[in-house]
Structure 1
């Protein structure tokens, strides 16, 4: 029976919540969550991996059970989220690790890799985009409009993403049998992003997401020069980051493994065992140096 520990560490003056399981002497896998969730998205995956790996899954600053200081106290950006993650891993003594990135976790992970490429042993990306081809226009059009101009109209459109219905849609779109998706997932996420002041945190990160796209050429160069082992496992019905985003990794990483799995953006809710099997096979066969 795998035991999952629920812990907190102070990083740069902020309390950061994280889940940890497995032997710390085993190879480390860092799980980086997306919007609008937290490490809770990995609650079913961690026990399926922790018998072989040391698994660490933090809540980003402003998300989940980590501190969520106001935007008047903190200038939220993806650089900051990467700084906090880097500080947490240093505090835990983790200096070499594989990363699993999803949604917002991807730009955090790409920054970690660009800063210390020698630290990254492998990448698993599940709807964690790094190419223009991944963006589904219908979803991203209001985000891009808000990035270009902040006014009452563009802000109202983007605030729709904070609603319970919009968060539920992120979980159930692309899933053939939606009864497999636990409603507590989107209710939990909505409750946390609805905390007073958290709407401004999320708006700041929607604006800052434009910096991630600008970083893509550097990420592609990192892929080409490092040839880091990469597994792209993607919900084939994802209408936020479409399957072309998964296929695109093969352009710079010819040996990348790409798997399209029936499901949506939060694939672990409906296909966690299939994803876990792919991860175990990938890490076991492709990653020989940790």
Structure 2
């Protein structure tokens, strides 16, 4: 009789970091190489629900939710500073409590600036890098960002209010389906999960605060690029080339700064893991096996 290997168990847990309850998913052997998964907007660690067990056969996988996202605490925007710097501090504090000092990092969308905070604070901690539609170059901020740049420039309520469409159901569905050739591959559970969380009282203000703070990531780009050149983390890029939010021009500049780079453009949109898991999951596991498992 052939004995099947055990299916990895994902544990759903919460730790208090700097007074904020941070939810995270964790799976895999704790003595294995750690892989940190950093989610994008408008979702949470939910976006990694299928990738986590795929990697957990040999990797210690951690996927947190930032405050105001998923199952983490969402303190009132009037009493809590919703910034990427703060998100980075809280994820760093979570890793410290878990005893994690070195890790590979998957960055996507908002997860990129959160990850850059960690990389700049602990430049030698990153054993490998997976970039999926996560920006680190001015070339990656195109048409989608034009109305957001107006808000960055003037900070006016009128400009802020014009961005409220970004937290509507229509836009959430758009983020999952735009640029996708076969929509039947996209589970509607994505927006029926994300949208009720976006619709929580006060959450629109949280999202607008985060959107406004994104402007503070741009001055960090030269420092991030210098870190890439200096530390040369082995890097895998798996980028949805049809993404309107973080379009293909944001992917290519990584080639300027990285030598050990594996580069893949996929025929899909923003959330690559949703419709291209059959292509991307093996690329990620193989990359980690070759570049991180013994690092």
User: TM range, normalised to the smaller chain?
Assistant: over 0.9
Q: Distance in 2 between matches of 1:7 and 1:26?
A: 19
Which residue in the other structure is 1:88 paired with? Answer: 94
Q: Distance in 2 between matches of 1:59 and 1:152?
A: 28
Q: Distance in 1 between matches of 2:124 and 2:65?
A: 24
Q: C-alpha offsets along residues 228-277 of structure 1, whole Å, 9 cap, x if unaligned?
A: 11111001111111112111111000331110112110111101131111
* Backbone CA RMSD of aligned residues: 1.1
Instruction: Please tell me whether the aligned partners of residues 26 and 60 of structure 2 are also in contact (alpha carbons under 8 angstroms).
Output: yes
> How much does 1:227 deviate?
0.8
Gaps of 5+ in 2: 1-6
Which residue in the other structure is 2:3 paired with? Answer: none
2:287 pairs with 1:282: yes
Q: Which runs of 4+ in 1 moved over 6 A?
A: none
Which residue in the other structure is 1:261 paired with? Answer: 266
2:271 pairs with 1:270: no
Which residue in the other structure is 1:167 paired with? Answer: 172
1:27 equivalent among 27, 33, 49: 33
Gaps of 5+ in 1: none
Question: In terms of mean alpha carbon deviation, does 233-242 or 21-30 score higher?
Answer: 233-242
2:148 equivalent among 143, 147, 150: 143
* TM-score normalized with structure 1 length: 0.97
Instruction: Please tell me whether the aligned partners of residues 33 and 292 of structure 2 are also in contact (alpha carbons under 8 angstroms).
Output: no
> How much does 1:225 deviate?
0.6
> How much does 1:33 deviate?
0.2
Equivalenced residues, count: 289
Q: Distance in 1 between matches of 2:216 and 2:57?
A: 37
2:132 pairs with 1:118: no
Instruction: Please tell me whether the aligned partners of residues 10 and 27 of structure 2 are also in contact (alpha carbons under 8 angstroms).
Output: yes
Which residue in the other structure is 2:139 paired with? Answer: 133
Q: C-alpha offsets along residues 117-162 of structure 1, whole Å, 9 cap, x if unaligned?
A: 111101101011111112231x111111111123343123211101
Instruction: Please tell me whether the aligned partners of residues 32 and 59 of structure 2 are also in contact (alpha carbons under 8 angstroms).
Output: yes
Q: Distance in 2 between matches of 1:156 and 1:258?
A: 38
2:252 pairs with 1:247: yes
2:205 pairs with 1:205: no
* TM-score normalized with structure 2 length: 0.95
1:61 equivalent among 67, 84, 96: 67
Which residue in the other structure is 2:4 paired with? Answer: none
Instruction: Please tell me whether the aligned partners of residues 104 and 292 of structure 2 are also in contact (alpha carbons under 8 angstroms).
Output: no
